[in-house]
Amino acid sequence: MTPIVSMTLMSIKRLLILIFPVSVIVDLISGFCTVQLHTYIPIGQAYRFIIMAAIIYMLLKRARPLLAWMILCPISFFLLASSFWIIIHGFEPDNGFSPAIEIESFSKILYFMLVITFFILYREEIGLLDPLKIISNYGMIISSAVLISFLTGFGNSTYGTDYGFGSKSYFKAGNDLGLTILYSAVVSSLYMISGFDWKRMVKLLIISSAVILIGSRVGLVGILLWLTILVCYIVFIYRPADRRIRRRFRHYRPIIFTCYILSVSGVIYYLLSVFDSYMLFKYTSVGLRTARSLLTDPAEVYISKFEWYEAVFGKGMAALYYFVAHSVRFRADYRMVEADFHELLGGYGIIGFILILSPFVYFMFKALTRYFSHPDFTLFAILFVTGSFLAVAFTAGHCLRNPMVAPIYAYIVSQLYYGKERPVDK
């Protein structure tokens, strides 16, 4: 290994430490200050700006066409659109214009794009650092915080102190957290299958338990679906490479399947016994529609009133949030729609919607075509993540600006840029 390669690996290793374990600690400290000390300190935002600067420095060393598509085009659009919003609508507070909200909103999207680009362009080097283990440990740290908070009562309740079910520890948003731990469970599953042992299985069980104890619909439905797929794969398809393990594993298959059925039945029974009327309503078809339409209906009304030039460039996120907040009589002046498709279309218009969403649609179709060409479980996991990501973005939001899930999603899609054999399969 040359000194230059060694230095690059060391820089990437340090950056991965900042992106994964340290970011969790920073988020927990920020949440603790907010919940326990009643003091808001934006250390999470400041910390991720540092990570963004470090990633930009690394990306400038490896300029590729992907950099223009993922980074330069969105930045150029945002600068152009911002100028358009100011010229057309000015700085009038009645229109809800807020430079702070615009910068914060776009910077979160840019962070996601930067992390994806970094993982793709440096995939060979990252593959040497055992990323499956890193992400599995990342999910374990987050899950441990959730489990401790659930058992002790410290931290944030997912919904409310007097109603609902679940804990999100000192993290900010339940859906963000649920999606992050869900995708950690997917990667932990790949980690377990790559070298089957009981330690990895226990780690997956702990991560899966944390998803359930958050109580979010994204987490509960997602983990139930994923674990069912995983167990069916292990029981009916999976064949260990080692012949001796394969013989012993044959006897474990019915035990695994039976234990899973009993565990799911036990979890459902437990949840039904602790769910209050609020939680039970959330999981009805009416509850699912009501939760989404409460905020998306005003957003659709807002978009329907666009002039043609506003439909092209949007009017900015702040103006959209301002309209929605006043439509639902929210206690603050601004309210997110919590549906990424509506927010992109209402905030950035048709051009911004296509420009920002196109990479994620491309990743899903790339995973789909790769899977049908060479079907295997890893590609199915990639398809599960890329497909569910867009589904959650449409129905519940908390995807494109979720800094916690960004590195997991980025690693998953980076596997699409290898040939038939990927490091995750070795």
Q: Are residues 20 and 76 in the same domain?
A: no
CA angle 297, 79, 86 (to 5 degrees): 65
Question: Would you give the distance in Å from CA 40 to the centre of its chain?
Answer: 24
**CA 149 centroid distance within chain:** 21
Mean pLDDT of 72-87: 93
Q: Residue 182 in contact with residue 389, Cβ under 8 Å?
A: no
pTM over 0.75: yes
Band the pLDDT of 251: cuts 50, 70, 90: confident
Give which of 83, 185, 62 is closest to 132, Cα–Cα.
Answer: 185
**Residue 66: inside a domain:** no
Asked which of 267, 283, 299 is the last residue of a domain, the reply is: 283
Residue 369 pLDDT > 90: yes
Is residue 220 domain-shared with residue 291, that is, in the same domain?
no
pLDDT value at residue 166: 82
Count of structural domains within the chain: 3
The pLDDT of 343-353, averaged and rounded, is 95
What mean pLDDT do residues 23-45 have?
Answer: 88
What band does 142 get if pLDDT is binned at 50, 70 and 90? very high
163's CB contacts (< 8 A; 6+ apart) are: 276, 278, 279
Mean pLDDT for the stretch of residues 393-411: 90
Q: Are 164 and 89 found together in one domain?
A: no
Residue ranges making up the domain that contains 117: 72-121+286-426
Q: What is the pLDDT of residue 426?
A: 47
Residues 6 and 50 in one domain: yes
**Same domain assignment for residues 262 and 323:** no
Whether 113 and 11 map to the same domain: the answer is: no
Q: What is the mean pLDDT of residues 13-42?
A: 90
User: Is the pLDDT assigned to residue 173 strictly greater than 90?
Assistant: no
Domain co-membership, 111 together with 145:
no
3-state SS string for the chain: CCHHHHHHHHHHHHHHHHHHHHHHHHHHHHHHHHHCCCCCCCHHHHHHHHHHHHHHHHHHCCCCHHHHHHHHHHHHHHHHHHHHHHHHHCCCHHHCCCHHHHHHHHHHHHHHHHHHHHHHHCHHHHHCCCHHHHHHHHHHHHHHHHHHHHHHCCCEECCCCCCCCCEEECCCCHHHHHHHHHHHHHHHHHHHHHCCCHHHHHHHHHHHHHHHHHCCHHHHHHHHHHHHHHHHHHHHCCCCCCHHHHHHHHHHHHHHHHHHHHHHHHHHHHHHHHCCHHHHHHCCHHHHHHHHHHHHHHHHHHHHCCCHHHHHHCCCHHHHHHHHHHHCCCCCCCCCCCCHHHHHHHHHHHHHHHHHHHHHHHHHHHHHHHHHHCCCHHHHHHHHHHHHHHHHHHHCCCCCCCCCCHHHHHHHHHHHHCCCCCHHHC
Same domain membership, residue 383 and residue 295: yes
- Please list the residues that pair with 167 across neighbouring strands: 157
In the predicted model, is pLDDT for residue 290 greater than 70? no
- How high is the pLDDT of residue 78? 96
Whether 247 and 197 map to the same domain: the answer is: yes
Mean residue pLDDT across the chain: 88
Between CA 111 and CA 326 the distance in angstroms is 29
Residue 93, pLDDT above cutoff 60: no
| 291: nearest Cα among 245, 328, 331 | 328
Same domain for 331 and 352, yes or no, is: yes
Instruction: Name the amino acid, one letter, at 381.
Output: A
Q: What is the pLDDT of residues 268-285, one digit of tens each?
A: 888 888 887 777 777 776
Q: Which of 155-169, 284-298, 307-321 has the lowest mean pLDDT?
A: 284-298
Average pLDDT over residues 388-415: 92
Res 219 pLDDT > 60: yes
Claim to verify: residue 305 and residue 412 sit in the same structural domain: yes
pLDDT score recorded for residue 102: 92
